[in-house]
Structure 1
Amino acid sequence: MKAMRNGLLLLALFALYYLAPLEFRALWQPDETRYAEISREMLASGDWIVPHFFDLRYFEKPVVGYWINNFSQLLFGHTNFAVRFGSVFSVTLAALLLYWLTLRIWRDRATALMAGVIFLTSLLVYGIGTYAVLDPAITLWLVAAMCAYWLTTEVSTFRKKALAWLLLGFACGMGFMTKGFLALAVPVIAILPWAVQQRRFKELLGFGGVAVIGAAIISAPWAIAVAQHEPDFWHYFFWVEHIQRFAEANAQHKAPFWYYLPVLVGGSLPWLALLPGAILGGWRERKQDAGSFYLLSWLIMPLLFFSIAKGKLPTYILPCFAPLAALMAREAVRLMATNGKALRVNGWINLLFGLICTIAVVGFLAPWGLAKHPLYAAHEQLKVVLAAIIFLFWAGCGLATLAAPARRWAWAAFAPLALALLIGAVIPDRIRDAKQPQAFIHEMKDQIAPSRFVLANNPGLASGLAWELQRSDILLYQQPGEVQYGLSYADAKGKFIAEAEFAAWLQQHRREGSVTLMLVMSRDREDTDAEVPKADRSYRRGRLAVYQYGQTP
């Protein structure tokens, strides 16, 4: 009975964390609206080989991440839930695989179960796992690859070993088709120190070819097909998306070497006190416990790899949280048996984190706060109250665990629950207007939809328009942004209108039908009325503005 009760509780928690909130949070631009729209265009066109964005070639990523989103939209329709469900599906499967691996390593169900719980409730995993980007999908394939490699070490016959290596290749191939060549490099980097320590380097070299064959078998059909349809795809994807983004001096998202340390610390909440012991324990047991060192190598080596790369984003280290969660679960079970001090410390961390964030919201970010420019406006008092409730709940969970740390330490899993359920309701208007234009676009839909031409001044806003209006012919105005490469093709002529050319373009094209121009303005440029031709109608909300021009004879 107790096992059934605990199982139902876990399912209920999963539904509250990962399913219930998906539909009720507006999509964020540029990421969520981009991936929503690319998959929508794939389904509309029937072309599942070459990704397109506003009917422009979009070669930044391969195709499997879009395929996952395609199936999600086929199942759940044109909804925010569908846009995000692909990420939820990916991290959920990754958690189940992590449960399997942890159970195989230590043969303890409690540790394996807590590994999955810690993984799914870690702040970074939850934040990215309910957000429509490709990183949850690549995490799934990398976890699958590491599970497959562990399987190769457990089987004894040549046939079973070859099949396990083939599975490893399949996982790497799917990762390659999700986010590129990194999916082939990261598992090797993670495995190598462990293989050397365990004297399995010869086996790695001997059977590595089988994994390469597996990766080729699963990825070659699409890789060849996309090259036939678009011969420039691989040149652009390899040189621009890999070399420039990760190595060159002008790499995107440049950050210092230590960038991921605070990401690792903050992302580990509400389990932060387990982090030092988990890493040190894995290192101390590296000789007598092969599984601990395997997980530690999987955590540290990719972390170093991404730290060396010039381009950095928090999402890149999401796969590192799988082995970290397993090591944390191992540490927590050990501490529970010895009434370890770290369990009490974890309660204090959550209590203090919740209280400090509550004070920050009420004392500084609120309209009456001490900040020179408060984040919340005067009419957003309810949002301030809800934000305070989020962090007071977090603090309350920390306090509850302090009453009996050895028995209640796992209650930390409840700490982010209020955040998960209420975050969509506490986004300040100034952020919502700039980063979540979906609600405004939805309200304006009836006025915008009849327009013959619709323009937006950045790809993020344009993708929001395309998604809400279900049309891919949105034109780019002022800045091409991430679709600059797609605009370089001859058949993309007329898809971008420079600011200096807009008046002349408008005079010519409004003869063909009405025109809608939608802008998101920078904070230092909130008055654009004098900088665009006088409109027949205009609408404003915060930093969003819509200008409409009727058809002329």
Structure 2
Amino acid sequence: MVSRVRLYFLFLAALIALYYLIPINGRLLWQPDETRYAEISREMLSNGHWAVPHFLDLRYFEKPVLGYWINTIGQWLMGESNLAVRAGAIISTLLSSLLLAKFAESLWRCRKTAYLTAVIHLTLLIVYGIGTYAVLDPILTLWFVTAMVCFWQAYQACERGKKICYYALLGICCGLGVMTKGFIALAVPVISILPWLLTAQRRVEIILYSFLAMFCCSLTVLPWAVTIAQQEPDFWHYFFWIEHVQRFAQSNAQHDAPFWYYFPWFIAGSLPWLGLLPGALYYGWRYRTTKAGYLLAWTIMPLLFFSLANGKLLTYILPCFAPLALLMARYLRVSLTKGNSAIKLAAWINILFASLVIIAAIAVSPWGVMDKPFWPTTEIGKFVLALLAFAVWLLCAYLALKCPRFGWQSLACCPLGIALAFGSITPASIILTKAPQFFLQSTAQALRPSRFILSNDVGIAAGIAWQLKRSDVMMLNNRGELAYGLSYPDARHKFISLADFPAWLAQHRASGTISLFLKVENKALPPSVPPADRVVQQGRVILIQYFPQ
């Protein structure tokens, strides 16, 4: 028994190392999200503006400050590396999995279920994809998970002292969520608890104790809220009306998408455990008046809430997969005692998925049916590596089918080939536009002595600032998400329109080299850009330089 426990923990440690540590630093930072969060935290560490986030030396009010603090700690401890940029998301994901495992053990008094919860959560495709990507949602998910666990423990506690402690922790976690990504941290726990609360006992007690949680939440946020209001009086107006009301409710919200947008991603994100999804949801519904019903409401209600909002991003539904991992683990544990039907179904789904992807990869290869293949003939090695990565997926699914004794271990390893090879199979055409580091690494030497650097893409501008460790990059003809920061009188010099650029160039050219780093359509240079002394182009990305005259 002891040896089996050790083997389980060795297997889990290997999964963490292979998925969340070894390949991470080799993956370039993608724009706009990763380059943005990397640069904001770098500037915070560099300029000491800890209360007010700045981006390219501009006020940046899209998000509160806690997520940047956590990312800044990662860079402070680990240096300015790709792994350091993603450390906040990775550590938050690992802590969420650990907390879910402990919660599973307290719910069902079963260590095997707790262990399966951690394995399933860490290897869910959407959890791994977002959990190793430098965004704030994994950090926010950690606060959600902690808050929901605290509420359940508070409800179950018999002693008043424990109830007060757990409700206070619930409020603190909600406050930390507000400081990470805003008021959505209050809405999601409430809508997740509400359906279960309608069937639960002692509702008056819950309502009374909720005031304690709200008080602790307010105390958590208050010091920073007052500080930023004193330094930037317009922050809360912009953050509430633009970043919350407009993004989620108005018809012109950012990232507008139809109601059903999340449902295909919910299904795809459940791989390689998709075969457990129907049984897990049915289990939650069948026992909806018990702890399983609490987990089901926690899964479904945020999904419906974000589906009703006009503004949608894939990362928003990440919190739904925490309780889903608990339901899947419990359903799998019960299924294993009755046979291996759930494992077999999951294995067949993964065999089908991997086979279809391999066929699709061949179809978009140089030997496929497309006029412009996904991988050109110069990138045959990447195509072969992609086939091998999905062959690993197919092999692991086949082993899960043929060796039921190691079925769930094999399923956990299905995405491993993609995790290890992702940075090496992405075509250069995508890397050039999504990962500015790729082009910047070969042009950094020429860019460094530039007196002025301008870009027409915010993500690329952030990549330049991160790579060169300078935040004075200016915007050319495109304000993007920096429009609000650029509207301040002391920041208007950081934007140049394309029509004004020739005159601005003539005025500033004598002061030093001027470099434009542009993303263009149809690989064509904008006709209004004056003739340059040096032009370097790779795909849709162009470096244009004007030397002093």
Q: Normalised by the size of structure 2, how large is the TM-score?
A: 0.98
Q: Deviations over 1:387-408 (max 9, x none)?
A: 1111111011110011133652
Aligned pairs, number: 547
Is contact 1:270–1:416 with CA below 8 Å preserved after alignment? yes
Any idea what SS the aligned residue of 2:372 has? coil
- For structure 2, the residue ranges without an aligned partner over 5 or more in a row are none
Rounded Cα–Cα distance in structure 2 between residues aligned with 1:454 and 1:504:
16
1:91-106 → structure 2 map (5 Å cutoff): 91-106=93-108
Q: What residue in structure 1 maps to residue 177 of structure 2?
A: 175
Q: Deviations over 1:15-39 (max 9, x none)?
A: 1100111110111000000000000
Q: Deviations over 1:344-394 (max 9, x none)?
A: 1111111111111111112x2212211232111110000000011111110
Rounded Cα–Cα distance in structure 2 between residues aligned with 1:480 and 1:107:
55
Rounded Cα–Cα distance in structure 1 between residues aligned with 2:528 and 2:420:
41
Q: What residue in structure 1 maps to residue 460 of structure 2?
A: 461
Q: What residue in structure 1 maps to residue 547 of structure 2?
A: 550
Rounded Cα–Cα distance in structure 1 between residues aligned with 2:161 and 2:11:
41
Q: Deviations over 1:457-508 (max 9, x none)?
A: 1100100000000000000012110000000000002101111111111111
RMSD: 1.1
Q: What residue in structure 2 maps to residue 501 of structure 1?
A: 500
Is contact 2:502–2:530 with CA below 8 Å preserved after alignment? yes
Deviation at 1:2, TM superposition (A): 2.2
Deviation at 1:282, TM superposition (A): 0.6
Deviation at 1:58, TM superposition (A): 0.4
Is contact 1:518–1:546 with CA below 8 Å preserved after alignment? yes
Rounded Cα–Cα distance in structure 1 between residues aligned with 2:537 and 2:28:
19
Classify 1:220/1:529 alpha carbon distance in 2 versus 1 (closer, same or farther; 3 Å). Answer: closer
Deviation at 1:340, TM superposition (A): 4.5
Deviation at 1:63, TM superposition (A): 0.7
Is 1:338 matched with 2:338? yes
Q: What residue in structure 1 maps to residue 291 of structure 2?
A: 291
Any idea what SS the aligned residue of 2:500 has? helix
Is contact 1:336–1:406 with CA below 8 Å preserved after alignment? no
Letter in 2 for 1:293: G
Q: Deviations over 1:89-112 (max 9, x none)?
A: 111111111111111111111111
Is contact 2:455–2:516 with CA below 8 Å preserved after alignment? yes
Is contact 1:343–1:406 with CA below 8 Å preserved after alignment? no
Is contact 2:455–2:461 with CA below 8 Å preserved after alignment? yes
Is 1:398 matched with 2:400? no
Is contact 2:499–2:528 with CA below 8 Å preserved after alignment? no
Letter in 2 for 1:399: Y
Classify 1:317/1:375 alpha carbon distance in 2 versus 1 (closer, same or farther; 3 Å). Answer: same
Any idea what SS the aligned residue of 2:510 has? coil
Letter in 1 for 2:541: L
- For structure 1, the residue ranges without an aligned partner over 5 or more in a row are none
Q: What residue in structure 2 maps to residue 307 of structure 1?
A: 307
Rounded Cα–Cα distance in structure 2 between residues aligned with 1:108 and 1:55:
52
Any idea what SS the aligned residue of 1:510 has? helix
Q: What residue in structure 1 maps to residue 538 of structure 2?
A: 541
Q: What residue in structure 2 maps to residue 135 of structure 1?
A: 137
Letter in 2 for 1:462: A
Is 1:190 matched with 2:196? no
Rounded Cα–Cα distance in structure 2 between residues aligned with 1:41 and 1:19:
25
Deviation at 1:456, TM superposition (A): 0.7
Rounded Cα–Cα distance in structure 1 between residues aligned with 2:294 and 2:4:
33
1:61-210 → structure 2 map (5 Å cutoff): 61-210=63-212
Rounded Cα–Cα distance in structure 2 between residues aligned with 1:72 and 1:436:
21
Deviation at 1:531, TM superposition (A): 3.7
Q: What residue in structure 2 maps to residue 356 of structure 1?
A: 356
Q: Deviations over 1:490-533 (max 9, x none)?
A: 000210111111111111111221100011112xx312064411
Letter in 1 for 2:138: P
Q: What residue in structure 2 maps to residue 266 of structure 1?
A: 268
Q: What residue in structure 1 maps to residue 367 of structure 2?
A: 368
Is contact 1:278–1:331 with CA below 8 Å preserved after alignment? yes
Is contact 2:171–2:212 with CA below 8 Å preserved after alignment? yes
Rounded Cα–Cα distance in structure 1 between residues aligned with 2:297 and 2:374:
41
Classify 1:406/1:259 alpha carbon distance in 2 versus 1 (closer, same or farther; 3 Å). Answer: farther
Rounded Cα–Cα distance in structure 2 between residues aligned with 1:171 and 1:529:
49
Is 1:226 matched with 2:228? yes
Letter in 2 for 1:226: I
Rounded Cα–Cα distance in structure 1 between residues aligned with 2:4 and 2:44:
47
Letter in 1 for 2:32: P
Letter in 2 for 1:535: A
Any idea what SS the aligned residue of 1:547 has? strand
Q: Normalised by the size of structure 1, how large is the TM-score?
A: 0.97
Pick which of 268-277 and 156-165 moved more.
156-165
Rounded Cα–Cα distance in structure 2 between residues aligned with 1:100 and 1:189:
24
Is contact 2:537–2:543 with CA below 8 Å preserved after alignment? yes
Is contact 1:451–1:515 with CA below 8 Å preserved after alignment? yes
Letter in 1 for 2:242: V
Is contact 1:366–1:376 with CA below 8 Å preserved after alignment? yes
Is contact 1:255–1:310 with CA below 8 Å preserved after alignment? yes
Rounded Cα–Cα distance in structure 2 between residues aligned with 1:143 and 1:384:
39
Rounded Cα–Cα distance in structure 2 between residues aligned with 1:161 and 1:218:
19
